[in-house]
Amino acid sequence: MKTSHLGSGAQAGDLPVPLNIDRSWLDNLESRLDKGGPWGDFRLFQLAVQGEEARLVTSFDELQCVKHLQDLSPLPHQIDTARRVLFEMSGRAILADEVGLGKTIEAGLILKEYMVRGLVSKVLILVPASLVLQWVRELNSKFGIPAVAQKKAYSWHSDVVVASMDTAKREPHKDMLMEQEYDMLIIDEAHKLKNKKTTNYQFIQKLRKKYCLLLTATPVQNDMSELFNLITLLKPGQLGRQGDFAANFVVGKRQAKNEDQLRDELAKVMIRNRRGEGPVQFTKRTVRNVSLQLSPEEQALYDGVTSFVKNQYKASGGNLSSMLSLVTLQREVCSSRDAVFLTLVNLSKKIPDDSPLTAEVWELVNAIRNIKANTKAEKTIELIKDMNEKVIVFTEYRATQEYLLQYFQKHGLSCVPYRGGMNRGKKDWMMDLFRGRAQVMIATEAGGEGINLQFCHHMINFDLPWNPMRVEQRIGRVHRLGQQNDVKIYNLSTTGTIEEHILNLLHEKINMFETVIGGLDVILERFEKQESFEKSLYKLFLESESDEEIRSKVSSLGQSLDLIKREIEYEDAETVIEEEA
Amino acid sequence: MSLSPQEVQKQVLTYLETTECSIIEKSPYHVTVKLSPQADKQLTNRPYYWGFIERTGAEPETLSYTFVFDPDQYNEQTAKTPPPSAPPQPQDSILSRYFGVNPAGPRIGPGRIPREDVTYGSSRLQQIWAVARQEGSCVYLFEQPGPLQRETLFSAPYEPWLGVCFKVEMTCDVKKEALHFIGISLVTGQIDPQFARRLETLQLGPRLPENIHIQPGSLSLAGAANLLEKHMKDHLAGEDYAWAEAARERLREELAVIDMYYEDLLKETEEEKLTAIREQYDNRRSEMTWQYEPKVNLSAITCGLFHLRSIRL
């Protein structure tokens, strides 16, 4: 292609910007004149011009993409987000909507807009391996963007490639990507890029990119400096130098100061739509807590494990960090004997044979042997048969999942598993099976990320995670945009166990199942200024002597959460008043 | 700008007629068409099939499509007139006892006509535009005179014009475009900025009409092209460049933020670390320039030589 580049100053009265003139048309015309053709049809000539006219971008700041979409009507907050990213943030932004508000749709809109405008053609999209095919499918079907999943080395040459971060950062892929220039880079689940020292972070920092979107539902998980790192990836210096940032905005690890100023600065690079806001309507959630009585054998195991864990905690002198596997044990005993058994076996392998602990562990194993039935599983079957519709059962433990699969199948329920360790193809297959044939899906927490199950509106929490955000994520799989029905949530809990207290805390105190709490993350963030929520719970249980003590401690924990919630509501109300004034 | 289903249909039909496809069925909402070999090669992406046909000389079997321009209306229309149901199958023939019953599913294989929704924004329409641009980029045409010209005594003087449809792209981190279809007479050097409008009123064809003569041009093609470009440049110089200044301002701000961020980091004393930081700094700066730096692109969508009846006598 012959181009003549006229720099400024070539002629007086020239343009104030560089002008590129593409003259290939003249070569083309001359060579056809020499050869006497071939000449085009005038109707096609006109059609080509009409086509150009029809997709001409006649304005710098008007969203084009929506009219290009056939099978998608984006929601107002999604269109608004796209507009802001394009015209206020110049295409570099963190999309941090809460779970279920359609971050993928927003990213798709932005990408489509840039492609329609001819500003982007080469695109790299990095997502967790489990989401690769879903992204490809959505971009193709909803946006008509010809995205391909990276499978072989040559896939990198396609214009729009979706790949997993883990693949991309490895050799030989890494070198190939470093040589490229990407008009746009999109990263899903970007909160994994919070640590500057990781290879992921450094890899992304080195990639050459023009526009960049980072998608995450949880921009701040633990630490203010994580947020700083995320933004530095996008626009270094937006929050000042590292030192300035620490001095201006950070008090404690999780505590910000000058919050208004920080919020203003953040608003320049980050968009966070919340569930409680705007015209987005969600269906209702109804919750039923199913209280169960453990069988005497199960109760014996529970008591045995509890006293074993407590004794160990005392023996360790209150050192929580060495207790993690034991705390797990305490949680597993509320789920299934299978889960406990596995952990016990692993534990016994670690302790020396002559230790007195071995005997204690084996005693517990014997207690497991005595258990003939799983009270919770029996109840679950009963529930599922009553509702007679599709239902997703969540458990935290792989062993429980295996057990339930067998147990349900034995009772004639068609069910499929879903877990984080499955490869992409299998996950997709499981989703399709669940949609088409199976009545029940049994998912472990790892499988929670990124699966969309709008077609199902029953959900059973076989056991509960101790982290409220994870509970919210579970619910978010089902209770999201596109859900037509009210969502029914069943929580199983056994009386007289810590589970009862946890459920009490989450349900009664935070009321997290029924109301969609937009600001759950904010509440937790504030609470966790002192200590992580889960850790507080561990301590509380390990250090309490009686059920009564636990009850009162849980209730005071609940109160402090409630206090924070009101504080935030009050502040919000105040800002509204200020804005109105 | 967006196109209505009717406009899309008109453009698609233009393409199908130009490429001599045979139209099987047509309504205001759809068209069912058997593609011509030319259109099949351009649209269906079957290079191996056509390679096979050309090497073996076999009779080509082109594909058929039902292009639907207004899906809602079309669905309503087809719902009212259900397709004739398949004849009831004998459920208990001898054969089916051996081979099982073949359920009357949707027809697949040869003879099946796939349906495709073609609306503004669909990839099929984009593809047709791209093909049109590829095939129609260069033309050589004559104004077709009325029937009287053949019988008159005097041959009519024709003037060659170079016509170019320019596309202007003003780009920074956002973008704006404009089309300018202008022409220049190779005889007089006169420029017509409304060349497209002039062509609209004329009958144009590829064949040299009888009883006309073409005036010799005084301008070379390259000279005419230069004049057209100069015309475009003058026009562009008169445009408003506030957008470019705003983009430069954004760029300056972004660069200042980066400079400030790296100021301390660049005081690193360790040689190895400093090199890494400097590289990062330079990369970040060049990315910013890439993103914001304003520029104008001038290219041509289509061009051609048009021999038009001279207006001056």
Average pLDDT (A496-525) is 70
pLDDT in the model for residue A580: 46
CA B139 to chain centroid: 15
Measured between CB atoms, does B277 come within 8 Å of chain A? no
Q: Is A414 in the same domain as A310? A: no
User: Is the pLDDT at B70 greater than 80, yes or no?
Assistant: yes
Q: Which residue has 């109707």 as its token pair?
A: A43
Q: Is A103 in the same domain as A144? A: yes
Residues of A in contact with B260 (CB under 8 A): 237, 240-241
> In one letter, which amino acid is A409?
Q
Q: Is A301 in the same domain as A234? A: no
pLDDT in the model for residue A281: 62
Is residue A118 situated within a structural domain?
A: yes
Q: Is A17 in the same domain as A99? A: no
Q: Is A404 in the same domain as A339? A: no
pLDDT in the model for residue A4: 46
Measured between CB atoms, does B305 come within 8 Å of chain A? yes
- pLDDT confidence of B98, banded at 50, 70, 90? low
Helix (H) or strand (E) holding A160: strand A160-164
Which one-letter DSSP state was computed for residue A506? Answer: I
How many domains in chain A?
A: 4
Measured between CB atoms, does A7 come within 8 Å of chain B? no
Among A333, A351, A370, identify where a domain stops. A370
Which residue of A21, A32, A210, A244 to mutate against B (max B Cβ within 10 Å)?
Answer: A21
Chain A, window 220-259: residues with a beta carbon less than 8 angstroms from a chain B beta carbon: 232, 235-238, 240-241, 243
- CA-nearest residue to A116 within chain B is B121
Name the residue among A19, A52, A206 with its Cβ closest to that of B167. Answer: A52
Q: Is A31 in the same domain as A80? A: no
Residues of A in contact with B243 (CB under 8 A): 60
Is residue A280 situated within a structural domain?
A: no
User: Is the pLDDT at B106 greater than 90, yes or no?
Assistant: no
pLDDT in the model for residue A1: 41
Q: Is A404 in the same domain as A520? A: yes
Contact A20 B236 (CB under 8 A): no
pLDDT in the model for residue A581: 44
Name the residue among A16, A37, A87 with its Cβ closest to that of B174. Answer: A87
- CA-nearest residue to A59 within chain B is B176
Residues of B in contact with A40 (CB under 8 A): 135-139, 302, 304
Q: Is A347 in the same domain as A386? A: no
| Comparison of pLDDT for B95 and A198, the residue scoring more | A198
Is residue A276 situated within a structural domain?
A: no
Count Cβ atoms within 10 A of the Cβ of residue A317 and give its class: 0-12 exposed, 13-18 middle, 19 or more buried: exposed
pLDDT in the model for residue B313: 46
Can you read off the two tokens belonging to residue A507? 């349900």
The Cα–Cα gap between A89 and A95 comes to 11
- CA-nearest residue to A29 within chain B is B138
- pLDDT confidence of A8, banded at 50, 70, 90? very low
Chain B, window 4-23: residues with a beta carbon less than 8 angstroms from a chain A beta carbon: 7, 11, 14-15, 17-18
Q: Is A351 in the same domain as A386? A: no
| Comparison of pLDDT for A174 and A428, the residue scoring more | A174
Q: Contact at 8 Å (CB) between B227 and B219?
A: yes
Average pLDDT (A405-434) is 84
- CA-nearest residue to A4 within chain B is B298
The Cα–Cα gap between A348 and A325 comes to 12
Most confident of A133-137, A245-249, B79-83, B108-112: A133-137
What is the number of CB-based contacts under 8 A between chain A and chain B? 235
State residue A208 phi and psi, 5-degree precision.
-90, 120
Measured between CB atoms, does A51 come within 8 Å of chain B? yes
Contact B132 A47 (CB under 8 A): yes
User: Is the pLDDT at A256 greater than 90, yes or no?
Assistant: no
- pLDDT confidence of B167, banded at 50, 70, 90? very high
Is residue A421 situated within a structural domain?
A: yes
Name the residue among A14, A49, A205 with its Cβ closest to that of B302. Answer: A49
Q: What is the mean pLDDT of chain B?
A: 83
Q: Is A219 in the same domain as A92? A: yes
Residues of A in contact with B36 (CB under 8 A): none
Measured between CB atoms, does A545 come within 8 Å of chain B? no
Measured between CB atoms, does B133 come within 8 Å of chain A? yes
Q: Provide the shortest C-alpha distance from residue A260 to chain B (in Å).
A: 20
Is residue A64 situated within a structural domain?
A: no
| Comparison of pLDDT for A463 and A508, the residue scoring more | A463
Q: Is A331 in the same domain as A385? A: no
- CA-nearest residue to B302 within chain A is A45
Q: Contact at 8 Å (CB) between B264 and B98?
A: no
Q: Is A96 in the same domain as A9? A: no
Measured between CB atoms, does B2 come within 8 Å of chain A? yes
Measured between CB atoms, does B1 come within 8 Å of chain A? yes
- 3-class DSSP state of A19: strand
The Cα–Cα gap between A294 and A298 comes to 6
Is residue A104 situated within a structural domain?
A: yes
Is residue A345 situated within a structural domain?
A: yes
Q: Which of A85-99, A175-189, A435-449 has the lowest mean pLDDT?
A: A435-449
- pLDDT tens-digit readout, A310-369: 887 777 776 666 677 777 888 888 888 888 888 888 877 877 777 777 777 888 888 888
As a whole-number percent, the residues of chain A with pLDDT over 70 amount to 85
Contact A47 B236 (CB under 8 A): no
User: Is the pLDDT at A186 greater than 90, yes or no?
Assistant: yes
The Cα–Cα gap between B71 and B113 comes to 16
pLDDT in the model for residue A575: 52
Q: Provide the shortest C-alpha distance from residue A186 to chain B (in Å).
A: 16
Q: Provide the shortest C-alpha distance from residue A162 to chain B (in Å).
A: 20
The Cα–Cα gap between A371 and A378 comes to 14
Which residue of B3, B15, B173 to mutate against A (max A Cβ within 10 Å)?
Answer: B173
Which one-letter DSSP state was computed for residue A250? Answer: B
Domain assignment of residue A312, given as a range: 295-370
- pLDDT confidence of A291, banded at 50, 70, 90? confident
Contact B298 A61 (CB under 8 A): no
Residue A420: give its domain's CATH number: 3.40.50.300
Is residue A526 situated within a structural domain?
A: yes
User: Is the pLDDT at A184 greater than 90, yes or no?
Assistant: yes
User: Is the pLDDT at A576 greater than 70, yes or no?
Assistant: no
The Cα–Cα gap between A42 and A315 comes to 91
Measured between CB atoms, does B284 come within 8 Å of chain A? yes
